[in-house]
Amino acid sequence: PSPDDPPYLRGLNAPQREAVLTLDGPVLVLAGAGTGKTAALTARLAHLLWTRRAYPSEILSVTFTNKAAREMRERVRHHVGDAVEGMPWLGTFHAIGAKMLRRHAELVGLQSNFTILDTDDQLRLLKQLIVANDLDEKRWPARQLGGLIDGWKNKGLTPDMLDAGEAEHFANGKGQALYQQYQDRLRALNACDFGDLLLHMLTILRTHRDVLAQYQQRFRYIMVDEYQDTNSVQYLWLRLLAQERKNICCVGDDDQSIYSWRGAQVENILKFEKDFPGAKVIRLEQNYRSTPHILAAAGAVIANNSGRLGKELWTEIDAGEKVRVIGVWDGPEEARRVGEDIERARIREGKSLDEFAILVRAQHQTREFEDRFIAIGLPYRIVGGFRFYERAEIRDALAYLRLVHQPADDLAFERIVNVPKRGLGDKAIAKIHMLARAEGIPLLAAAARILDTDELTPQARRALGSFVGDVARWSNLLKSSPERGEGPSQSDGGGGARQATTFESGRIGSLPHTELAQIILDESGYTAMWQADRTAEAAGRLENLSELVRAMEEYETLGAFLEHVSLVMDNENNADEPKVTIMTIHAAKGLEFDTVFLAGWEEGLFPSQRSLDEGGLASLEEERRLAYVAITRARRLATILHAANRRIYGQWTSSIPSRFVGELPKEHIEEESTMSGGASLWRANWSEHTDPFAHVGRGTGRGPGWQRAAAPSSTFTTAPKRVVENRGSAVSLGNKGRDDLSLGMRV
Ligand code: ATP
Ligand code: MG
């Protein structure tokens, strides 16, 4: 480092500088979380512009999210100033693919103003094709076909490239023909779906040498962040574009590959050196984000995976607090505890709410936190997804409940009259509207009345008749349900007296609103609609629906619950106000927060039940990489929570802590339980498998084997050279020849 360094180089370490300054030839930066990969990539971009090695339009720069692209643009602007007017090729694969495709659309039979279809449009189209091919849509749902087609597109396969095995998956071999018809339809509509943005461009680059040559010339430099999560089509596309100049710099971390379910192939990072012979591989080892305890915890968990490249990580950051592992009684207590901790830190330490994040494995987990934070007035934001009550399936379900509760709710009627599809066309619905307006009556009433006329086609009449009949029946059920039902008591958290059996007993003999809700969702065909759906999101939507029914339990009546929901919906957060962030681990990739809460570390939730049931070792290892990503988002403090009880699909089940909790090294965690009893039971349960806590000291009065005696407080300061054996991976607490505190960890 010299004082003459341009601003973007200041503070970078030697290997980071190397990544920035090695401009010619292929470069792979392979390094663990928080080592400054993204920072180096950003500096490299600034350097290319500062030194005028390339015009902004000659750099192709791929980020994983639009937000990451915005941030990178802002930082570069900060370093090199406004002279940088825009970087047209800085963005996500999709954004860049769309921009390119508009220029060459005619080469794949589109016009440059083509429409990009959303998932709903895509499904409608597929459904039409399935029906036109005389297939039973129930047996062969459009969503399944959509999922297959997305998968093929992710692999870079056009219809003519499918082998027999691939197409076999749908309608006894008709998959290929349907894929072809779908592509033809899209072309006729001058439209494409998201997968096409890259697939069409790949086809063009493969078949039009002139276009390929033009882009190979144009892009003097190519840079890719989060390279471990590129899928095949993205990989093939990059490889073509980089083949001529070979100035490609990819950064990534094989341990953070968490999108294989979307076709990402971690192998891409592993074969980089083969694809680009003579590539310079740079390893970054200093972590600038997290404390040694956090790093050691994350490193020990990921060490349980096989086939890793392995990395060295150390930090100069002070030891700080150990990773906290907190056992709570149930979900509501988990949310309450996190809320309290955040409030306390905000008051005592004067921290901004922006410094806190809650990371969950599954979308439906956000609901409990949202309800709690609304109750205590703690502002929050949901990133990378909708707030729970704003999700499509929740709004649909609520519309059913609103209509049954309040038959004049026209908005609710409109939303669900044809969801799931009942064969009511726009015409029929327009007639209902007309009658309602003419008579000044609600839509539901108009719908009932129109049945007595001959306005509708027989099919529409049958469909509407059964819908109106259903709503009437549900409304009667609601009337017969007790206004003051003996709903379950609110969870009392620490008390712990409640048990699964007594929980249900107050309801016998009457129909509680939760059961009514379940009946409505089932009888309306709404649940079945999502059950028939075989895409990855469907399971999450079904979980959300169960979570909705669960949320209702905390209210005595349907009316009280709906009132709560409208208040929640109204709770529009002030945009500039600091807020706690709630999001999935997937959405948190690349981000960092001072304080991170990792909720629901229980077997069956994290790792997910699906990964345990279906995926074998590969799925489990992907879950473990998620755990690694999750822990490494924290700068200063990570808190892992697990509940002893969860309500899943209407059943209280006792859960055991995630195996990942058992993989945390004891010297880097601080355990705590808020339970006075019961803990020993599930703790014993888990111990049967691996007994990860055999080392745990016998606590006093808190259930056997739970509370750990305070460990020596200064593992780092007193024994900097000690080598600790840790599940086969040596954690060396060396000081790297520095006076300051550091942690070296070979994992
Ligand atoms: P991830 O794998 O999670 O994407 P990353 O390797 O991309 O992490 P960055 O996000 O680039 O890491 O950097 C992590 C943190 O370290 C950021 O706060 C960044 O500003 C800081 N940082 C990076 N390099 C340095 C450096 N040389 N000196 C000081 N801080 C740095
Ligand atoms: Mg990064």
For residue range 358-397, list pLDDT tens digits in order.
Answer: 999 998 899 899 989 988 889 998 887 677 887 889 989 9
pLDDT recorded at residue 170: 81
pLDDT recorded at residue 534: 73
Per the annotation, where are the binding residues?
A: 31-38
Average pLDDT, the chain: 82
Average pLDDT over residues 252-271: 87
Query: Does the beta carbon of 13 lie inside 6 Å of ligand 1?
Result: yes
pLDDT recorded at residue 267: 84
Pairing of strands 669-673, 221-224: unpaired
Average pLDDT over residues 322-350: 94
pLDDT recorded at residue 743: 29
**For residue 125, what are its two tokens?**
């189209």
Q: How confident is the model at residue 575 (pLDDT cuts 50, 70, 90)?
A: low
Q: Which residues fall inside 5 Å of ion ligand 2, going by CB?
A: 37-38, 590
Please state the pTM of the whole predicted model.
Answer: 0.74
H helices of 133-257, in order, are: 142-154, 164-167, 175-188, 194-207, 209-218, 232-242
Concatenate the DSSP letters of all residues of 19-39 into one string.
HHH--SS-EEEE--TTSSHHH
Which has more confidence, 705 or 601? 601
Cα atoms found within 13 Å of the Cα of residue 569, Cβ hemisphere only: 12
pLDDT digits (tens, 9 = 90+) for 25-37: 999 999 999 999 9
pLDDT digits (tens, 9 = 90+) for 552-569: 888 888 988 887 787 666
Ligand 1 atom 14: residue of nearest CA: 34
Burial of 172 (0-12, 13-18, 19+ CB in 10 A): exposed
Name the 3-class secondary structure at 18. Answer: helix
Give the span between the Cα atoms of 248 and 51, in whole angstroms: 18
Distance in Å, CA 48 to ligand 1 centroid: 20
pLDDT recorded at residue 720: 28
pLDDT digits (tens, 9 = 90+) for 47-83: 999 998 999 999 999 998 878 888 899 889 888 877 6
pLDDT recorded at residue 649: 63
20 pLDDT exceeds 70?
A: yes
Query: Which atom of ligand 1 is least distant from the CA of 39?
Result: 11
Q: How confident is the model at residue 115 (pLDDT cuts 50, 70, 90)?
A: confident
pLDDT digits (tens, 9 = 90+) for 649-662: 667 889 999 999 99
Average pLDDT over residues 504-508: 35
Which has more confidence, 726 or 460? 460
Average pLDDT over residues 94-115: 90
Which of 17-21, 280-284, 399-403, 507-511 bottoms out in mean pLDDT, i.e. has the lowest? 507-511
Task: Tell me what percent of the residues of the chain surpass a pLDDT of 70.
Answer: 83
* DSSP conformational letter for 708: P
| Active-site amino acid positions | 37-38, 225-226, 256, 633
**111: number of Cβ within 10 Å:** 9
pLDDT recorded at residue 289: 97
ipTM score here? 0.99
pLDDT recorded at residue 218: 95
Instruction: Please choose from 10, 16, 17, 35 the residue to mutate so as to test ligand 1's pocket, defined by most ligand atoms within 8 A of CB.
Output: 35
Q: Which residues contact 74 (CB under 8 A, 6 or more apart)?
A: none
Query: Does the beta carbon of 370 lie inside 6 Å of ligand 1?
Result: no
142 pLDDT exceeds 80?
A: yes
Which of 212-226, 241-255, 574-588, 619-633 bottoms out in mean pLDDT, i.e. has the lowest? 574-588
Query: Does the beta carbon of 63 lie inside 6 Å of ligand 1?
Result: no
